[in-house]
Structure formats: structure tokens, C-alpha cells
Amino acid sequence: MAKGREKHQARVSAVAGLGRSLSRRARNHCEICGEGGSLKVIEVEPLFEEPDPERALMACARCEEGLGKKGPDAETMRFLETTIWSDTLPAQLAAVRLVRILAGQGTQWAVDALDGLYLDEQTEALLG
């Protein structure tokens, strides 16, 4: 059990270590909504064995909450209509997943956003 905890702590430290390069890429703004302020490194599935900037993004507390167990809020996350077109792969993956959740809940703007979205085969495969 201690080995598992140590492995987890090592991964958490490695993910946090991505912060500097991700902050530069994100220009100190949330890569999902664009807000400034306090940001956190979030990994986006599918994960590589070692933390990688191509599977991580900088997110504000609101977006982190939306990506968490609580899920996205249709009223405050309409910006996802734009983020699903992001050139930053982890931000696009996270945004598409959130919009799919909202569309599944019957949120009309999310349904409309997905109707017009084109994803290449590689990106679609990453979404599962």
C-alpha cells in the first residue's frame, strides 16, 4: 500500500512540475475559459505513463469543478462553444467532453455546438 501512495505522490509532483511550461503556453490564463487568476495543472485522459504537457492544461477553479464529479454547469459554461475548436489538444478534449455531457442532459446550445463540430479521426479516437 505504501508503494502505491509513493507512486501517486510522485505523479502528483510530476504533474505540478508541468506548471511552468503550461503557464507559458496558456499565457497565465485558463485554457478552457480564458480567465486569469489562480490556475491549477489538470491532466486530461487518456494519460501517458509519465505526465506530459500534451495531456495536461491549466484550469481555473470553475473549470476544474466542471471537469470534476460535480460536472459542468450549462448556465456558466457557454464559453465551451468556442473552446471545442481550440488548437490546444488537451483544452479541446476537455471542452468536447464537457459539451457532450451537457448535450446528453438536453442543453440545447451544447447540442447545437456538437452538430457543427468536426473532429479528425485521431482526436475522436482520444475522446473514446
Domain segments of the chain: what residues?
Answer: 2-127
H/E run at residue 59: strand 56-59
Least confident segment among 7-16, 31-40, 69-78: 7-16
Going by C-alpha positions, the residue among 104, 100, 99 that lies closest to residue 78 is 99
> Cα separations (Å) of 45 from 12, 24, 74, 92, 116?
15, 22, 22, 12, 24
pLDDT over 90 at 99, yes or no: yes
**How high is the mean pLDDT of the chain?**
93
Q: What is the pLDDT of residue 12?
A: 85
**8 Å CB contact between 17 and 31:** no
On the question of a cis peptide bond just before residue 46, with omega within 30 degrees of 0, the verdict is yes
The per-residue pLDDT for range 48-69, each reduced to its tens digit, is: 988 999 999 999 999 999 999 8
Give me the percent of the chain exceeding a pLDDT of 70.
99
Q: What pLDDT score does 93 carry? A: 97
At 91 the pLDDT is 97
Say if pTM beats, i.e. exceeds, 0.75: yes
Q: Would the pLDDT of 2 be above 80? A: no
Band (117; pLDDT cuts 50, 70, 90): very high
* Exposed e or buried b per residue across 23-55, where buried means at least 16 C-beta atoms within 10 angstroms of its C-beta: eebbeeebbbbeeeeebbbbbbeeeeeebeeeb
